[in-house]
Amino acid sequence: MVEWKRYNGALVPVEPPHIEPTSEDVERGKKQGGYRFISYTTDFDCEEETAWWYVIKDDPIDLGTIKSSVRYKINKGLRYADIRRIDHRAVGRELYACYCKAQARYRAHEGHVSEEAFLAALQQDNAEYYGAFFRENGQLIAYVKNVVRGDCVDMSVIKYDPDYLKYQISAALTYRVIFDYLNGGQCKYVLDGQRAIRHKTNIQDYLEDYFGFRKAYGRLQMVYSPVMKVLVTLLYPFRTLIERLAGDRVLLNNVASVLKMEEIRRACRKKA
Confidence of residue 272 (pLDDT cuts 50, 70, 90): very low
Q: Tell which residue, 27, 31, 38, has the closest CA to residue 5.
A: 38
pLDDT tens-place string over residues 113-158: 999 999 999 999 999 999 999 999 999 999 999 999 989 999 999 9
Q: At 216, give phi and psi (nearest 5°).
A: -105, 105
Confidence of residue 185 (pLDDT cuts 50, 70, 90): confident
The three-class DSSP label of residue 51 is: coil
Global confidence as pTM: 0.89
pLDDT for res 186: 84
pLDDT tens-place string over residues 191-244: 999 998 866 678 899 999 999 999 999 999 999 999 999 999 999 999 999 999
Is there a contact between 37 and 228 (Cβ–Cβ < 8 Å)?
yes
The rounded mean pLDDT for the chain is 93
Is there a contact between 141 and 133 (Cβ–Cβ < 8 Å)?
yes
Residue 54: is its pLDDT beyond 70? yes
Q: Is 159 exposed, middle or buried (0-12, 13-18, 19+ CB in 10 A)?
A: middle
pLDDT for res 203: 86
pLDDT for res 24: 96
Q: What is the dihedral of CA 95, 98, 104, 108, to 10 degrees?
A: 0
How far apart are alpha carbons 149 and 134 in whole angstroms?
30
How far apart are alpha carbons 34 and 45 in whole angstroms?
31
Please state the rounded mean pLDDT for residues 64-70: 92
Between 107 and 94, residue with greater pLDDT: 94
Confidence of residue 111 (pLDDT cuts 50, 70, 90): low
Reported residue count of the chain is: 272
